Homo-oligomer: A and B are copies of this chain.
């Protein structure tokens, strides 16, 4: 096996290092975050750091880069207290990827990339119409990460929208049937196929 040590990592060209380090966690979730500012202007951005924090209460987190430069998404979330996560599916990944371009604040990524915003049940933040699994979140707290100035943004899931056929009686959502994709690095889009579902693991003697 090849050994890549700290000095090799530090010696990598910047974009090469970014892709390398972004490959190390493995496959990543892909979501679009929908927000709106105080004037009603919408914003949409792809994120690969959405992580489960707990089921009761139902909390998800994502990592926002340092707020030293203007992060439209985080600014909008702090302003309105609400946002949406929309899973990236096979039919929209190219549009989703394009939201990572640096658009000026006055430009809505919905318009710029060609995705249709959707209002649901009076929720202030926009959903992505074409996404197969989408959810409304209410900001709980932001947690600063001293190590590199990033911010963990924590929200409580208040509403979920999906096709009824995707929801199993055990609570699992069939993400393969939903055509949800996984990502690697900053540029890879993958379609996962089920190998197996395994039963709850028990130690010998455990009941």
Contact = CB atoms under 8 A, between A and B. Distances in A.
Nearest to A48: B52
Nearest to A3: B161
Nearest to A190: B192
A175 B27 contact: yes
B29 A103 contact: no
Interface residues of A, number: 112
A167 B27 contact: no
A93 B198 CA distance: 10
By DSSP majority rule, is chain A's interface helix, strand, loop, or mixed?
mixed
A194 B200 contact: no
Given A63-B51, A167-B2, A195-B181, A30 B19 contact: no
Interface in A8-32: 9, 12-31
A148 interface: yes
Interface stretch (A34-42, A71-79, A137-145): A137-145
A25 B197 contact: no
A104 B204 CA distance: 11
Contact of A51 (B25, B120, B157, B188): B25
A193 B152 CA distance: 30
A180 B182 CA distance: 12
A69 interface: no
Contact of A6 (B18, B159, B175): B159
